[in-house]
Structure 1
Amino acid sequence: MPTRRTVTGRSREPRARFAEELRVLRTGRGQSLRQLGDRLGWDWSLFGKMEKGETVGGPEVVEALDQHYGTPGLLLALWELAVSDQTQFRERYRRFMTLESEATSLWHFAVSVLPGLLQTPDYAREVLSAGGIKEPELTQQVEARMGRRCLLEGDMAPDFRTILSEAALRTPMRDAAKWRQQLEYLLEVSDRPNVTVQVLPQSAGLHGLMGADVWYLLLPEGRTVAYTENGYRGELIEEAGPVVRLQKTYDAVRDLALSPVESRKFIMRMLEEVTCDPST
């Protein structure tokens, strides 16, 4: 019987800890994912997604894994922490969206994905689907994301600046026609007086915002809050000290980015490349 490990709570990312424990237990048994699926009667791909952190599964499958590995209650406890962490992520995100709707100015940096405010429905669907979201929640989230785009429309729309890592523009959609539509929409929105789009070229090298997407919101009362997000969680930062430090980092990255005019030319060249590609 495997040695039961101590559940250390939040000493690590709960979802990552849960996924790691699943991998360690399976490889310790010398089992493949297919063998595990055959043994427990679930599709092996489910266990693969759980070990990658793409899903946490349900309590039934986790209880079966606890029984299979002889770890009564351990995996279920880790699963509960992972599920709780997801809930907290959603709560933090809801608060961020509330503040976003009130902001008078927004600044953003994108590591690898275009910001939701500038996404087409097809792009949003592909991104959310790649993150493991299934129907009917997938369609609901796409519609919700499209609804947020109205934030940048109208006479009262806030100023919005986004710095796009070149990687975000070099990661196309599977469908070339849909990718062209996304680039065209990006150019269309960047032409609005309240929207500024800059591109951070790969040649800029290493910088201080490589780890996560970052949002800065200037609120009506004059204070600024920040929100950082990676593939597993988001963090709303409201303390003045950390926000100021993040703003200084953002300013340094902005100094490395192309000007808005050069950025627009960069995106237009990318659009031409996609349009002229004979394979599309």
Structure 2
Amino acid sequence: MASRKPFSGHQGKPSASRMLAEEQARLRAERGWSYRELSQKVRFDHTYLHEMETGKTLGSPEVIRALDEVYGTGPHLSQLRELARDSAFRDKYQRYMQLEAKATVMRHYAVSNLPGLLQTEAYARDLLRAARSWKQGDLEEQVAARLSRQEILTRDEPTDFRTILDESVLRRPLQSTKDWRFLLSHLLDTVRSPHVVIQVLPMAVGFHGLTNTDTMLMWLPNGRSVAYTETGYSGEMIEDPREVEHLRLAYDRLRDLAWSPPESMAFIEQLLEDIPCVPPKST
């Protein structure tokens, strides 16, 4: 096997996601395979493989495992992917991310935007872009990292996830009407899973115990519960049992005020119906 070339990266230490992309490109080039040839070996679309090698996406765990098998690299690429996923988030969120990955039950309340576990690619990109100025490569890395977290809802033993969405969350449009419609359709598809429940809190409820507090409650395999509260600029991990219990009670009371899951789905369906379709482009 040819000797490994140093990762190019940018100035300073290269990111884990860039290392993952360049390592895939190196392994394929050493074997002289085209994307289509590699696609036939791993049974994943060649355009998807190209996006992985150019850093547009981290790729799913399944395709990375398939690449490790085809290249005979053991868990090498899979380990790089895990590093890439973790390093894409700021240090202060690392503790939360570690616990989220382990959680067996999650209960969430959204004040102003969807939780990352339910976001589409377009939604995540619009939201992250609005928060700060990004270099394009850095923005796409953050989008890919955020979407990769959704694996906990589809793994062999998925997390049981419930979210209460403030009505304003769903009424806030995306830059593209088409993307907004796709987002609402995505939510309707997601709740087909028995492990996902969405409820909507009508704005007519007024103030309540979690007003202005985006909240996540998590139960871990050992039975311990923790909480995480967040604003657009900071987040706080809460592990004191008394404080967690206070938030849990506030959440339970809030759930009593929300529309039922069927009523919530009917609201989303009506909202989707009310959004105008994108007019066809003139030829």
TM-score for the superposition, normalised by structure 1: 0.66
Check whether the contact 2:177–2:277 (CA below 8 A) recurs between aligned residues: no
Distance 1:153 1:133 in 2: 32
Distance 1:122 1:193 in 2: 25
Deviation at 1:91, TM superposition (A): 2.9
Give 1:168's aligned amino acid: V
Distance 2:198 2:276 in 1: 21
Check whether the contact 1:107–1:215 (CA below 8 A) recurs between aligned residues: yes
Deviation at 1:186, TM superposition (A): 0.9
Secondary structure, counterpart of 2:107 in structure 1: strand
Distance 1:194 1:229 in 2: 24
Deviation at 1:167, TM superposition (A): 0.8
Give 2:246's aligned amino acid: R
Q: Name 1:215's counterpart in structure 2.
A: 216
1:275–1:193: structure 2 CA closer, same or farther, 3 Å change rule? farther
Distance 1:225 1:272 in 2: 38
Check whether the contact 1:165–1:202 (CA below 8 A) recurs between aligned residues: yes
Q: Give me the identity figure in percent.
A: 48
Distance 1:222 1:198 in 2: 25
TM-score for the superposition, normalised by structure 2: 0.65
Distance 2:193 2:275 in 1: 24
Q: Name 2:180's counterpart in structure 1.
A: 179
Please state if 1:103 is matched with 2:109: no
Secondary structure, counterpart of 1:225 in structure 2: strand
Q: Name 1:3's counterpart in structure 2.
A: none
Give 1:131's aligned amino acid: A
Check whether the contact 2:178–2:277 (CA below 8 A) recurs between aligned residues: no
Distance 1:167 1:153 in 2: 27
Q: Name 1:254's counterpart in structure 2.
A: 255
Distance 1:236 1:103 in 2: 14
Check whether the contact 2:108–2:215 (CA below 8 A) recurs between aligned residues: yes
Deviation at 1:244, TM superposition (A): 0.3
1:149–1:96: structure 2 CA closer, same or farther, 3 Å change rule? same
Ranges in structure 1 where 5+ consecutive residues have no aligned partner: 1-88
Taking the TM superposition and a 5 Å limit, the aligned residue runs for 1:16-35 are none
Q: Name 1:113's counterpart in structure 2.
A: 113
Distance 1:279 1:252 in 2: 46
Q: Name 1:27's counterpart in structure 2.
A: none
Taking the TM superposition and a 5 Å limit, the aligned residue runs for 1:258-269 are 258-269=259-270
Distance 2:280 2:133 in 1: 30
1:252–1:162: structure 2 CA closer, same or farther, 3 Å change rule? same
Distance 2:278 2:128 in 1: 27
Check whether the contact 1:117–1:149 (CA below 8 A) recurs between aligned residues: yes
Distance 1:165 1:190 in 2: 17
Check whether the contact 1:165–1:199 (CA below 8 A) recurs between aligned residues: yes
Q: Name 2:66's counterpart in structure 1.
A: none
Distance 2:199 2:142 in 1: 27
Check whether the contact 1:164–1:197 (CA below 8 A) recurs between aligned residues: yes
Distance 1:148 1:158 in 2: 11
Taking the TM superposition and a 5 Å limit, the aligned residue runs for 1:1-280 are 90-135=90-135, 136-275=137-276
Give 1:268's aligned amino acid: E
The CA RMSD over aligned residues, in Å, is 1.8
Check whether the contact 1:92–1:236 (CA below 8 A) recurs between aligned residues: no
Secondary structure, counterpart of 2:106 in structure 1: strand
Deviation at 1:275, TM superposition (A): 3.8
Check whether the contact 2:121–2:143 (CA below 8 A) recurs between aligned residues: yes
Q: Which moved more, 1:243-252 or 1:127-136?
A: 127-136
1:184–1:222: structure 2 CA closer, same or farther, 3 Å change rule? same
Secondary structure, counterpart of 2:90 in structure 1: helix
Secondary structure, counterpart of 1:258 in structure 2: coil
